[in-house]
Amino acid sequence: MQVARLPRDPGPAAWNRLLPEPEPPVPLEGKQTADWLVIGAGFAGLAAAHRLSKLSPGDRIMVLDAVRVGDGPAGRNSGFMIDLPHDLTSDDYGGALQTDLAQTEDNRRGIAHAAEMATEFGLSEEAFTMSGKINGAATAKGDARNKAFAGHLSAMGEPSEMFDAAQMRKITGTQYYQSGLFTPGSAMIQPAMFVRGVAVGLRSNRLTIHENSPVTALERQGDWVATTPKGQVTAPRVILAVNGHLNSFGYLPGRLMHVFTYASMTRVLTAKESACLGGQAVWGLTPADPMGTTVRRISGTGGDRIIIRNRFTFDPTMEVDATRIDDVARDHDTAFAARFPMLPHVTMEHRWGGRLCLSRNGVQVIGELDEGLYSACCQNGLGTAKGTLAGGLAAELAIGQSSPALKRALGAADPSRLPPVPIAKLGAALHLRWNEWRAGREL
């Protein structure tokens, strides 16, 4: 099967640009064999490779990615590894009680796996920390959403704490937020630092990762044969960890929604600007309204900066052009100016976008697609936790292990069919713009 499309990531992976240059890549060359091939080195691929290396020590495990580790979506996100339900299509992230209890258990399994890797590979607190997270509310409606979500969490038996406007100001330095809902179980990551740290650790466990090695064809000739521009790998078992690009490999056509979201990162704040802002040096807020703006303030490698993320666009081709970044930049600048009027001269240094993959019914694609070919895809916008979960479960399935989480994943429905592309595109565009407009000052 020829791979229909290769990934194209718009703008720089800013988190990765903050880090020292990595060792030069070693693209795949010549004909090679492996016991296991993992395609994709994001959260899912790295977790799958890690789990395989534990469950089948001594096996030859190879990972291929089209780009450098940390340059793909795994290094482009806001770094909230969330344990609780996080349904982006809902009003307040919550859903049906039983589904949310199961999701939380699954997300925590993904986070525990990430924590295990962070400990094993000696990652810093900047790369991975169990800090909990806050849903920030800028409006009375947002505050009501926070309260509704807190009620839902209470019904789930989950702890949470409401912060008032004064507490929010103490944390963030800005008067923008009326309230915040703190929940303790999420991790925060510097996403590029995390995935690169895991990749370095895996390599030291004698696992091979070839970057800049896009798979252009994948065929079964007895074993599976993956072709890249300069090489070929033959392996009996393959794990596809390419998120929405599962479609590009010919699977689940018409059932995966390809959505982009976007972020901007400021230049380094001066000491005077940081003092003028006040608040804590490191914090992060997801919006009380899922269509709102995520904000992070960071301090560490690459200096003190603020990162703004908002807007979703539905792009079935999995590609966007440069004008899109200019378009969303206006919304980022508006969101920044509204929250940080005390920093009028702070400009954005990096702007970028990245792909999410969602299914209409919120299910992941974890399972065996064909003999010896496994999927760890469709993370529904929460790939840090769900991708790590999917990678671990796909590896366990391929090895023949079982667990309640794997049984649940295998018992899940297929992703629902989408309407024909023109209708889906129009419907999604209207739906997203309407909900973004409704988000008001939460955007």
As a whole number of angstroms, the distance between CA 43 and CA 241 comes to 8
As a whole number of angstroms, the distance between CA 300 and CA 75 comes to 17
Q: Which stretch binds ligand FAD (CB under 6 A): 16-24, 319-327, 383-391, 395-403?
A: 383-391
Judged by CB under 6 A, the residue of 85, 302, 387, 415 near ligand FAD is: 387
As a whole number of angstroms, the distance between CA 369 and CA 366 comes to 9
Residue 379 sits in the site that holds ligand FAD (CB under 6 A): yes
Q: Between 137 and 246, name the residue whose CB sits nearer to ligand FAD.
A: 246
Q: Could you tell me how far CA 63 lies from the centroid of its own chain?
A: 19
As a whole number of angstroms, the distance between CA 433 and CA 12 comes to 25
Residue 356 sits in the site that holds ligand FAD (CB under 6 A): yes
Size of the site for ligand FAD (CB under 6 A): 41
Residue 43 sits in the site that holds ligand FAD (CB under 6 A): yes
As a whole number of angstroms, the distance between CA 435 and CA 292 comes to 9
Residue 70 sits in the site that holds ligand FAD (CB under 6 A): no
Judged by CB under 6 A, the residue of 168, 382, 389, 443 near ligand FAD is: 382
Q: Between 123 and 274, name the residue whose CB sits nearer to ligand FAD.
A: 123
Q: Between 50 and 76, name the residue whose CB sits nearer to ligand FAD.
A: 76
Q: Which stretch binds ligand FAD (CB under 6 A): 41-49, 102-110, 265-273, 337-345?
A: 41-49
What torsion, rounded to 10 degrees, do the Cα atoms 205, 207, 210, 215 define? -150
Burial class from Cβ neighbours inside 10 Å (0-12, 13-18, 19+) for residue 441 reads: middle
As a whole number of angstroms, the distance between CA 232 and CA 225 comes to 7
Residue 384 sits in the site that holds ligand FAD (CB under 6 A): yes
CB atoms within 10 A of CB 317: 10
State which of positions 74-133 bind ligand FAD (CB under 6 A): 74, 76-80
Phi (first) and psi of residue 180, to 5 degrees: -145, 145
State which of positions 257-316 bind ligand FAD (CB under 6 A): 261-263, 309
Return residues touching ligand FAD (CB under 6 A): 3, 6-7, 39-45, 64-67, 72-74, 76-80, 214-215, 241-243, 245, 261-263, 309, 354, 356, 379, 381-385, 387
